[in-house]
Structure 1
Amino acid sequence: MKLTELMDLKGICVGISLKEKDGVIDILAALQQKCGNIEQSKILKQDIFYREEQGSTAIGAGVAIPHVRSSAVKHAGITAVTVPAGVDFEAPDGEKSRLIFLVALPEEGGENPLSKLTVLLMNEDLREQLADAANEEAFLELLRLAEDGEYGEQKRSAVDAPVVLAVVNANDTDNTQALVQIQSAAERLGILLKTEMHGSENSEPFSDQEIAQAKGVILIGGGLSADRFDGKPILEAAAQDGIHRPEHLLHMVGEAPVFYKKTEPGKRDRQLRHPVFKTRIPLLPLLVLSGGAMILTAFITNLLGADAAVSAFFLDIGRYAYLLILPVMSGLIAFRYARWPGLAVGICGGILLEQSCGGVWAALLGGMAAGLMMRGFGLLGEKMPSRVRALTYLFPVIGLAGMGVLSLLLARFSLLLERGLTALVTSMQLPWAGGLLLSALSALDPGGPLNRAALNFAAESAAAGEWMAAITAGSLALTLGVTVFAVFRSKYMDPVQRENGWFGLLAGLCGYTNAYIPFAAGDPFRILLSCMTGAAAAGLLSVWFGCSVSSAIGGVFAMSTAGRPWWLLLAGIIGAALNLGLLIWASKITQKRLFKQKKQQAE
């Protein structure tokens, strides 16, 4: 069904003068009643306001599309108004909305025209002409022309431009907002963006010729299959990345991993990773950037002889920034599963887990648990009748309570784990074996029970200085290897990670092992194994060199109090070199495997 078949001249009003969003919604609902689509506008307005509370329906570029399924709707319909002065609909780009549509649908069934309307409004010329329409007849005629193809497709004169395909899950408004921003960015960059709204009956799938011509593919939203894009670079992105960083996505699509449908026998395709490993977005490296800058400032002011309170002030700021890394990581993982409700519960749960047991693995588990729990609640809420939908406000409360129970269980488990590992290390008779194990455990779980078990044993041992030195050397090998890899072997890192690699390097020199977490989040297994190997080698060498230090806190800046500090630094550098070498070797193997698959595909 065409969009214009759902519209009527009686449902359009151009040039209204209102400043408040509520007033615009009142007019749109009244127009629906005037067209005979509803009986009472009161219930419809309640449902619209409830939908607006869940998140803005403005898609940016001066357009807002409130949409709702309501028991008040008898027949699907679209009403529209233009507001020359604009109304604040909390658009992602901050621009006031001049062109506002209301899509009202029955509570059950019926075709949803939202995605088709969104794609149609991507054209800047059409948006401007609709917003400036002199009367209702001109407004409706412009939409008719657009549906006939005058504005719906990009101009064919741009066929020589680089082609990028965007597949968008049409079931989420945030995804359509992201698509509008990416389309605008593509026009500025001279890129021909072709779109497909997955889940919309009005959107045609890409042809084989379009796929063959494409430079790469961007997938926005979950539940999207990549099988038909075999041999093409595929970049999976969250809606928020498209809304706030569209040009970055278009630049990155050419550097994305090439997806191959067929893999070696018995091996699962890992090109498109599980949501747990899709945390490679700017927020985590920026925490390293800000925290590392504050920590560096603290050490510099201390070296310059400033008052101790000044150094402590900057050190506390940096420390708190680093304490946020794991809770934010937990929240981002939950966000991949359940959007904003998942983010809120994931961050709160991450803070609880940080206080109870901490560590990378607790953050991963907490993020998955929060995301899956809130996603399940979301599916339950969709099936609830509108009259009891207010109960959905209890879901975050229940989710947070569930995270509290999980934190108690993990706290008990981590305590048992610490005791068991302490007993294991105590039973070791060879000093070098203890140094190797302690440094490897610290690398395996920064800030978690394994790390604490290593530190507690080292502090209480008769040979505390040797064990602390082993952990210090392992921490240096861990962070130096990863951050140097991020800076100089940057193909497997995001641009933001590359830019912030230097601050991660400085944080690593200060002994903050959490600095490597954002860089390892995208490919944890390869990086984690390399880091453990490098840290274990550094710890072994530290014991062999006879190094000692009173505390594992402070990194290279605490080496002035160490026994044989230059040998301790050498052990850390050798371990970092081994870590870096393993990372480079693993990346070359990955490149060869991808090249081989690409060659086989071409044949």
Structure 2
Amino acid sequence: MKITDLLKCVSVDVNAAAKSKDEAINHLVDLMDKQGNLKDKEVYKQGIYAREELSTTGIGEGIAIPHAQSETVVAPGLAAMVVKDGVDYQSLDGNPAQLFFMIAVPKSSGNEHLQILAMLSQMLMDNDFKEALVNAKSKETFMRIIDEKEASQKEKETQKEVAQKSFSGSYQIVAVTACPTGIAHTYMAAEALEEKAKEMNVTIKVETNGSGGTKNALTAKEISECQAVIVAADKNVEMARFAGKPVIQVKVADGINKATDLIKQALSDDAPIYQSDNTVNLKIEDSNEGVGRTIYKHLMNGVSHMLPFVIGGGILIALAFLFDDYTIDPKNFGSNTELAAFLKNAGDTAFGFMLPILSGFIAMSIADRPGLAVGFVGGALASGGGSGFLGALAAGFAAGYLLIGLRKLFDYLPDAFEGLKPVLLYPFFGILIMALGMVFIINPPVAAVNNGITNILNSMGGSSKVLLGLVLGGMMAADMGGPINKAAYVFGTASITSGNYDIMAAVMIGGMVPPLAIALATLFFKNRFTKKEQSTTVTNFIMGFSFITEGAIPFAASDPLHILPACIAGSAVAGALSMAFGCTLMAPHGGIFVIGVISNPLGYFIALSIGAIVGMILLGLLKKPIASK
């Protein structure tokens, strides 16, 4: 497909007359309608104005690209016009617009036309190309200029891909561009940043978050080795990966019009350090990562999206029991009073999304957007089929790799089927095969395993559960937010759904101990810590009581041989005592602030205190006094 497959002569006017922005839009909509792409041009026009309300599509330099994605669009298309005297289009630079391209995109369509539109957007950053179009004497000349430029642009893109694959150094700057519709501005900003960086002899890699998905994705290695990050976006992008790096965040229009200034600022060390508030900090590794790391990355993508449902829903359910009256109807405990019933219903609803979300986002991590729907269905079937958390895990990975297989299989289809793949072929065959796989392959054995684990946990005696609490508590402090910590936490949250609330209590207490132990140690063994470390005492108390294990990471990173053994021991003791005291917890987060929904809260507080004190004493014994300065 080429640009001129979307842009027909009937929709081009090289001598248009328009005196206002409204007149320009009306004329462009009329040109688009001549292609027969619109069921209702008034509805489409409303979409154009809705996009203009977000921000003007007059990007400056005499160019405007109004666009809309609408249900009334039958097929993707382009309309173009030249107003040689210019129109006040409220452009970003305040100058009149002369060259207009209007884009129409169906609500549901394939990605090939989006790639074409991305290429057009990049081409328009070339001033010579833009001037040639403005001065075209006829529609035919206008179309020919586009064809010739597109051929050279494709060659340029190929050369860029080859250069990136052969590039073995570190990029000075990495960047992300994104706009609400992901059709034009995303790619224009990327092109502007790349071209200006080339002129300035600066190495840069730009990730685009467009309607066709993420392209040129940044790797963890590239992010860690760069000097600074530029995010030119008018929508949310994944920011947690940039934690600790200098980051410049601007609107996407600045990426187009102020690329030089952004690059200079990035290299001047003036960019603020980005601080992430996401406790599940996902790292996207490069293509050479090992199998284990790849699996963990996909798993954590599912877990990070699942946790808000688990945490919010779990706390609501716990509050339902807290505010209910057991004596009214013991069999209906949790829903006896009107308030309790409301909280229980809201919590159960949130919990109901847990497994589909987990499975869906694992699949999306593997196969991008086409995997999402298939993963959701797999997770829902796991929930209803008795295989629960383990079944949803299996469904997520199965859905992701199923879509990769379907994508390769459908590559053999003629190009005419390209638009049907994302809207028909992938979801239909993916969901059908996923459903068959869940019913006949995954659910039966996984449900049996799941029931077996539940029965074993339910049958555990006191000593066995104390040992389990010891192990889980220690795991929570082993890497403080890493794979071992997350494995224990996910096991705890999954156990809630099976009614094993004592496991979650042991898990949470194990995660609370490390910051508390360090806070106590900085208070009672001051000569073991620097002045800067001593100043974190209050912060670590707050983080420990809030169940934020990551508060201990700076200490563990600076002295792992002494910090980790002490914290692991303290957390293990606390986990074991929580089990021994019969403490249970139905909320998967909250720390000391959900003490009201913990059974035997006094025992839980004693277990937490003993664990923190054990960790503190071991820190005092293991760490040597430092020389005073």
What is the TM-score when the length of structure 2 is the normalising length? Answer: 0.47
What is the TM-score when the length of structure 1 is the normalising length? Answer: 0.49
